[in-house]
Structure 1
Amino acid sequence: MAKHFNAPIALKGSSLTAVDAIRTLARNNGVFTQNDDGTYLFKLDPKSSKFKIVMHSRNGLLPAIRFHLEDSHLGKDTTLSKKQIQKHIKENGGFIALDYVFEKNFKEQFKKKEPKFYERIKDMDLETFVDAMMDYREKLPPFDLFKKEYLEAEKSIEKKESIYWKEVLAVLSFAMNYPAKYLPAEDMLRLQKVLMPLISIVIAFVPQSSCRDLMALHDAGVLDIVSVGDDSRVEPNPEGGATYYYKDENGKEISESFSMFVDCVGQPHLSFEDFPFQGLIDDGTISPATLRFKDAEKAEKEMNQKNKLVKKHKNGEYFLSVPGITINDFFQVVDKDGEANERIYILAVPYIGGYNPDYSGIDFCEAASEQVMKKIKA
C-alpha cells in the first residue's frame, strides 16, 4: 500500500485496521501540514490528484476515540467474581444469563460513580440500551460525530476524567470472556447481534494523532464512509481491483468498481474444520465449539429462519455452533467426550473466538496466560 494511487480506493471495514491502512495510503499520496494557528491539513500529491479513500462498513459508523481511562486495567476487580458466576450458573440450570451479566457488570457499576446515568438506564434491558446508544450515533453524520467525540476525548484527557459509560462498556466486553462459554445459545446470539456491534465501535479507542489524520483527510475531500448493511458483497474484477455491491439507505442497488480494494475487517474467526492439525480432528482430541439452547422454542425459531448453525441432537437438545474449538476455563482443548486434555493448551485467537468474544488487547493476553500458568503449576 505504500505507493502512489491516482484513483479511488475501497476499504472494507472501519476498524483500527482500516485506520492504519488509511494513514499508510495517505502518507504515500500527499502530506499533512500544520498551520501557525494549529489547523491540521492534508494536501494531495499532484501525481495522486484522483486519490480518494472510501470506507465501507455495515452501519456507516466510525470507531470511537481514546479518552482518559480511570482504570487502565479496565476495572477487572469490579466485575463478577468466578465464585459469583459459578453460583449463578448452578442456580440457573447450568447457564449464565446475559441479562445477569449486563445488570451486574455494567448497569450496577454506575450506582455510585454516575447515579444520574444509572437513573437513565436502570430500567433498560440490553436491547433498549443498545438501541438508545446506536440511535444517538446514527443521528449525526459520521464525521460530525467523530469531531464531536474528538473534542470530548480531548477534554477527558486534559482533565483526567473518564467518559465513564464507555469505560464500563470496555470492562463489560473484557468481562464477557470467562462466562461466554456458559451462555445459553440464544443469549450468545443476542451478544453477537446486539451488544458486540456497539462494543466494537465504542471501545476501539482510536489514538488522537490518528483522529487528526482522518479529520484532515475528510476535510480535504479524500476520505469518506458509506453504510453497506449486512448483505453487501465484493467481487474481484478480471482486470484487477474489485466491485462493491450493496443497497443504499433507500434500498437502491449500488455497484461501484475500484482499481484497488483493501480488506480491513481484521482477524477472522476460523472454524473447527480449518484447524491445521488434522490428526487432532481425526482422533477426536479436539471438538467443535458449541453452545446449548436453554429454550427449545427459540432454537426451533432459528431453525425455521434457516440458521444453519443450529442443530438438533439425538437427545432432543438443540445446539448452536460457534467459531473455533471447545476449550475449558484454562484454555485446554476438550475432546469429543467432553474431557479436557492435560497436555494441550490453545491460545491461538482464530480458534478460540467462539468462547472468547473479546480476545484482543494486553488485558486478555494477560488473563489468558495467567489461567494457563495456574493450571500448569497446579
Structure 2
Amino acid sequence: MSSIAFVGAGPTTLYALKALLRAPVRGVGVTVFEAEAEPGVGSPYRAGWNGPSMLSNIASAEIPPVTETLLAWLQGRADAELRDLGVEAADLSDRTFVPRVALGRYFRDQFERVVDQLRSAGACVDVRAGRRVDDVAIRGEGVELRWSGATGAETGRFDHVVLATGHQWPSKQESRPGYFTSPWPAATLAALPPTKVGVRGSSLTAIDAAIAVAGAHGAFTRGADGRIKYEPAAGTEGLRITLMSRKGLLPEADFYFPLPHPPLTICTPQAIAGVIEAGGVDLLDRAFDLFRREMAAVDPAYVAAVGLQRGDLEAFGEAYFADRMATDPFVWAATNLAEAQANHQTRFTVPWRDALLRLHEVMASITPHLDKVQFDRFSRHLKPVFVDAYGAAPHESVERMLALHRAGKLEVLALGDDHMVDTRRPEGGARLTRRGISRSFPVFIEGTGQRILGAIQFPFLSLIEQGVVRDAGAAQDAESDKVEGARGVEIDDHFSLVADGLTPDRLFCLSLPFILGRHPFAQGLTSSHEMGEIVGRRLAVVAARSAEAAHPPVDRLQAVA
C-alpha cells in the first residue's frame, strides 16, 4: 500500500487530507510532520505568533468548511472559551471577522476530526508534532525525509510527499539591533519600547505590526457612541508609528458582496484558456481586453470614470489608485469605512469591486505563460489592483488605524520610487532618506508580507543539488534580456515538482513562497482549499490504484472453472 507524507500541518494540508477521504484509504500510510507542537493551526493563526487583537480578514461565509463551518463551530463553544478567543457571542454571524487565534483553534479541532475520520476509514495515520523536516531527497522509487525532534535525527522513505511548509521568513526575526525582518512572532513586537517605529508596508501585514506594537503600550476601547478610541498608557509619549509604502495607502474596508458570486460572462475561464492556447507576445494585452470588456458590462459608469475603455493596463493601474493617492489616507479611510458599513447594512454590492474580486483568479491563470517583460507588467500594474480588491481589511482594523491616528500615534507615508532605507546603521534600527530629508527609526519592521522566492532559497538542500527544484520560467527568461527577480519553482498544474526522471505525483510543492509566481494570489484560505483539493484528489487516485493492486478483483467465472 502507498505511504504518503505531508511536511507541514496547516490548513492546506488539512484540506488535502479531507479530499483524500474520498478514496478507499484502508491500509494507506499517512504521516504528517509539523515543526510546532500543535498540528493543524498554521502560522497565520497560531497563538503567540499572532497577537490576540490581530483579526482575520475572512469570515465564515467565505471559508470552505472542513467538517463544519467556522460559524457552527464557534456557536458550539462555551461562552468562557469564546471570551478566551476574543469573540463576542452576541456579534457572531457568517460575516463576522474573528481574531486569527480563533481560526487557529478551529483548524486545530478540524484537523483532529479529519485524522479520526481517516483512521476510522482504515488509514494508518501518524501525526508527528514537534518534528522539523531538515532535508528531502529522491531515493530510487521513493522520497527520503530526514527530520529532527526530541529524540534526535531520524530518516524515513515514502512513496509520495507533499511539501506544505507555508510562509518562509528569515530564521532570525531581529537580524540586527532594532531591525525586524518580519512582524512575526507578534509577541516579540509587544516587548518593544515606546519609541519611533517604522514599518515598511501599509497593507494588512503592516497593520498587524502596528496593532501589535500599539496594543502593548495602550488599549483600544469602544465608547458609548460606538467609536473606537486608543488610550495610550502612561509613559508612552515617545511612541509614534509610521507605515510607509510606495503609494502610501491604507487598505480599503471590507465591502459587501453576494455569495455565491454570479458567474463571469466575458472574461471567463474558458475565454482566458483560449487566449493562453493561442499564445503570443501580446497574450497579456489580449487577456486585459477581456478583463476590460467584462468590467464594462458589469459597471459602465466606473469604466468611464477611470478611462478603462480606452486605456491600457498601465493607465488603468494608475487611474485605479489616482483619487486615493491625491487624498489624505486617513480622510479616505474614514469615508470609505462609512460607505462599506452602510453597504453591509443594506446588503448593497458595488459592482466594480465585486467584479475585481471575481476576476483576479481568472486573470492569474495567465501568469505562468508570460515572459519576463510581460510578467513584470502584470506584477507592477495589474496585480496591485487585484491585491487591493481581495485584501480589503476588517472594519475594526480600519477603525483602529483611525483611532491611532486621532491619538497622534500613527502616520502613513508615501515613499514614491526615489527613497532609500538604510538598515545597517551602527546604532540600530533604520534611517529613511527621501527627497533629501532623513528620518531615523530606532525600531524598523519589514511588513510587506511574503515575497516570491527562487530555487536557491528552497529549504531542502538535497532537492536543489539533485536538480529536482529549479527556477520557474527558465525557458521564457532565456528569450528576454530583462530579469526582474524570482518567479518561484517549476511545478505543473497539479503542484507536482517538474524535473527530469521524476515521476508524476511523487513530490508535490504547496510551499507558499515558491508557488506565488505561478499562483500570485494564493495567500488565503480559499486558495488553501483549492490547492489542497487538487493534491488530495491526486493522492486519492494514487491510493485507489494502490488498494486495487494490493487486492485485485477476482474473476469469478475463471475461479469457478
Q: Give 1:333 shift.
A: 0.8
**1:228-279 CA-partner distances (Å, limit 9, x unpaired):** 2345323143343x123232xxxx2232222222221222222111112222
Change (3 A) 1:354 1:48: same
**1:42-88 CA-partner distances (Å, limit 9, x unpaired):** 2221221111111111111111110112236x667667555444433
TM-score, scaled relative to structure 1:
0.83
Maintained 8 Å contact 1:174/1:358: yes
- The SS at the match of 2:473 is strand
1:169 to 356, 359, 375: 356
- The SS at the match of 2:535 is helix
Identity of aligned residues (%): 26
TM-score, scaled relative to structure 2:
0.57
User: Counterparts of 2:332 and 2:361 in 1: how far apart (Å)?
Assistant: 25
Are 2:378 and 1:191 aligned?
Answer: yes
Change (3 A) 1:372 1:85: farther
Change (3 A) 1:10 1:221: same
The equivalent of 1:104 in structure 2 is 290
Maintained 8 Å contact 2:490/2:497: yes
- Aligned pairs for 1:271-290 within 5 A: 271-290=454-473
2:436 to 235, 253, 258: 253
Maintained 8 Å contact 2:295/2:352: no
**1:301-353 CA-partner distances (Å, limit 9, x unpaired):** xx4xxx445xxxxxxxxxxx64221111111111158x774311110001111
Change (3 A) 1:88 1:32: closer
Q: Which amino acid aligns with 1:102?
A: F
- The SS at the match of 2:241 is strand
User: Counterparts of 2:224 and 2:270 in 1: how far apart (Å)?
Assistant: 58
The equivalent of 1:142 in structure 2 is 329
Q: Which amino acid aligns with 1:270?
A: L
**Structure 1: 5+ residue stretches without partners:** 310-320
- Aligned pairs for 1:1-378 within 5 A: 1-3=189-191, 5-71=193-259, 83-93=270-280, 97-105=283-291, 107-111=293-297, 113-120=298-305, 121-230=308-417, 231-240=419-428, 242-247=429-434, 252-290=435-473, 299=480, 303=481, 307-309=482-484, 322-335=486-499, 341-378=504-541
- The SS at the match of 1:332 is coil
Aligned residues: CA RMSD: 2.8
Q: Give 1:153 shift.
A: 0.8
Maintained 8 Å contact 1:289/1:324: yes
User: Counterparts of 2:338 and 2:270 in 1: how far apart (Å)?
Assistant: 41
> Runs of at least 4 residues of structure 1 off by over 6 A?
none
The equivalent of 1:314 in structure 2 is none
Change (3 A) 1:295 1:27: closer
Q: Which amino acid aligns with 1:366?
A: H
Aligned length in residues: 350
Maintained 8 Å contact 1:56/1:226: yes
Greater Rg, structure 1 or structure 2? 2
**Structure 2: 5+ residue stretches without partners:** 1-188, 542-561
Q: Give 1:292 shift.
A: 5.1
Maintained 8 Å contact 1:181/1:291: no
Change (3 A) 1:103 1:206: same
- The SS at the match of 1:42 is strand
- The SS at the match of 1:123 is coil
